[in-house]
Amino acid sequence: MLRLRSLGIVGLAAGLVGVASAADVKGVLMDKMCSGKADERVLSTGIQGGMIVAEAHTRECALMPACQKSGYGVYTSDNKFLIFDEAGNRKALEAIKASKKLDDLEVEVTGEVGKGDTIKVQSLKLL
């Protein structure tokens, strides 16, 4: 009986591994098309990309039609880019349009981080 109970608990735990988890994520709001420019790279001349590039990304760029069409996400301090779902894209666009900031669009996002680099956005607030 004990052995069956142990197997049931292990099976339940294994099933929960694939479930999305709720999270509060802070970082810089930017469009997916430009997020590749922020990817951190180690070159012979030093480290390039990262948060410095994300913070320099402009509001004007994020509002360009091609950037809007690519969708949005949050670039985090650990150099990851989490891609927003459709609701998140709408919230991001509204926030960018309402903002007076020219760059460094710091944001706090609450949502469910799923498989890969996606986040199902519940709330989004520019800081």
Residue 94 exposure: Cα atoms within 13 Å on the Cβ side: 9
pLDDT at 10 over 50: no
Identity of the residue numbered 45: T
Q: What is the per-residue pLDDT for 20?
A: 63
Identity of the residue numbered 1: M
pTM confidence score: 0.79
Compute the mean pLDDT over every residue in the chain, rounded to the nearest whole number.
86
- Which is nearest to 28 in space by CA: 70, 64, 80, 89? 80
Average pLDDT, integer, range 107-116: 94
CATH code at 20-126: 2.40.50
Tokens for 50, please give them: 């990262």
Instruction: Give the start-to-end residue ranges of the domains of the chain.
Output: 20-126
Dihedrals φ, ψ of 64, to 5°?
Answer: -65, 145
